[in-house]
Structure 1
Amino acid sequence: GLNIHFLHVKPQKVPSGVQVVPLLLLHGWPGSVREFYEIIPILTTPQKGRSVVFEVVAPSLPGYGFSDGASKQGLGTAEMAQIFNKLMQRIGFKRYYVQGGDWGSIIGSDISVLFPDHVIGFHSNMCFVNSLMSNLKLFLGSLAPIIINASQLEIETNYPLSAKFSFIILETGYMHLQSSKPDTVGVALRDSPVGLAAYIIEKFTTWTNPAWKDLDDGGLTKKFTLDKLLDNVMIYWVTSSITTSMRLYSENFNKARRDSGIDSLPVLVPSGCSRFRYELAFLPRFVLKDKYQKLLTLTGHEDGGHFAAFELPEVLAKDVFDFVEEERKSVQIKQEL
Structure 2
Amino acid sequence: MFVLTALAAGGIAHAQNTTQSESTMPDYSIRPFSIAVPDAALEDLAERLQRTRLPDQIPGTDWAYGTNTDWLTDLLAYWREDFDWRAQERSLNRFDQYITHIDGVDLHFIHQRSPHEQATPLLLTHGWPGSIVEFRHIIDALTHPEEHGGSADDAFHVIAPSLPGFAFSGKPTEPGYNPERMAHMLASLMQRLGYQRYGAQGGDWGGIINRILAARYPDRLIGLHSNFVLASAPRDPDILAATPAADIERREARQAYMANEVGYQQIQGTKPQTLGVGLNDSPAGLAAWIGEKFHGWSDLPEGDIHDKFSREDLLTNISVYWFTQSITSSARIYYENRNVPMNEPLGYVSVPTAGAIFPKEIYLTPRLWAEQSYNIVRWTEMPRGGHFAALEETQLLLNDIRAFFAELE
Give the TM-score, by structure 2 length: 0.70
Deviation at 1:78, TM superposition (A): 0.6
Deviation at 1:155, TM superposition (A): 5.2
Deviation at 1:148, TM superposition (A): 2.7
Query: Given residue 177 of structure 2, which amino acid in structure 1 is its aligned partner?
Result: L
**Counterpart in 2 of 1:333?**
none
Task: Tell me if the contact between 2:228 and 2:357 (Cα under 8 Å) persists in the aligned partners.
Answer: yes
**Given the alignment of the two structures, is residue 262 of structure 1 paired with residue 345 of structure 2, yes or no?**
yes
The total of aligned residue pairs comes to: 303
Query: Given residue 338 of structure 2, which amino acid in structure 1 is its aligned partner?
Result: F
**Given the alignment of the two structures, is residue 243 of structure 1 paired with residue 328 of structure 2, yes or no?**
yes
Deviation at 1:2, TM superposition (A): 1.2
Output aligned runs, 1:1-337, within 5 Å.
1-12=104-115, 14=116, 19-47=118-146, 48=150, 51-130=153-232, 133=235, 140=240, 147-149=242-244, 154=247, 157-158=250-251, 161=252, 163-209=253-299, 215=303, 219-254=304-339, 256-257=340-341, 260-263=343-346, 265-292=347-374, 294-328=375-409
Task: Tell me if the contact between 2:121 and 2:198 (Cα under 8 Å) persists in the aligned partners.
Answer: yes
Query: Given residue 11 of structure 1, which amino acid in structure 2 is its aligned partner?
Result: S
Deviation at 1:8, TM superposition (A): 1.0
3-state SS in 2 of match to 1:202: helix
Equivalents in 1 of 2:109, 2:220: separation in Å?
19
Identity score, percent: 40
Distance 1:193 1:118, change over 3 A: same
Distance 1:51 1:137, change over 3 A: farther
3-state SS in 2 of match to 1:268: strand
Tell me the alpha carbon deviations over residues 249-288 of structure 1, each in whole angstroms, 9 at most, x when there is no partner.
010023x42x64534x111111111000100122111111
Which is richer in helix? 1
Structure 2 residue runs of 5 or longer lacking an equivalent are 1-103
Query: Given residue 187 of structure 2, which amino acid in structure 1 is its aligned partner?
Result: N
Deviation at 1:52, TM superposition (A): 3.6
Structure 1 stretches (4+) deviating beyond 6 angstroms? Answer: none
Task: Tell me if the contact between 1:26 and 1:59 (Cα under 8 Å) persists in the aligned partners.
Answer: yes
Structure 1 residue runs of 5 or longer lacking an equivalent are 142-146, 329-337
Task: Tell me if the contact between 2:120 and 2:198 (Cα under 8 Å) persists in the aligned partners.
Answer: yes
3-state SS in 2 of match to 1:58: strand
Task: Tell me if the contact between 2:166 and 2:326 (Cα under 8 Å) persists in the aligned partners.
Answer: yes
Equivalents in 2 of 1:240, 1:262: separation in Å?
34
3-state SS in 2 of match to 1:253: helix
Task: Tell me if the contact between 2:234 and 2:369 (Cα under 8 Å) persists in the aligned partners.
Answer: no
Give the TM-score, by structure 1 length: 0.85
Tell me the alpha carbon deviations over residues 226-261 of structure 1, each in whole angstroms, 9 at most, x when there is no partner.
11100000010000000000000010023x42x645
Deviation at 1:210, TM superposition (A): 6.8
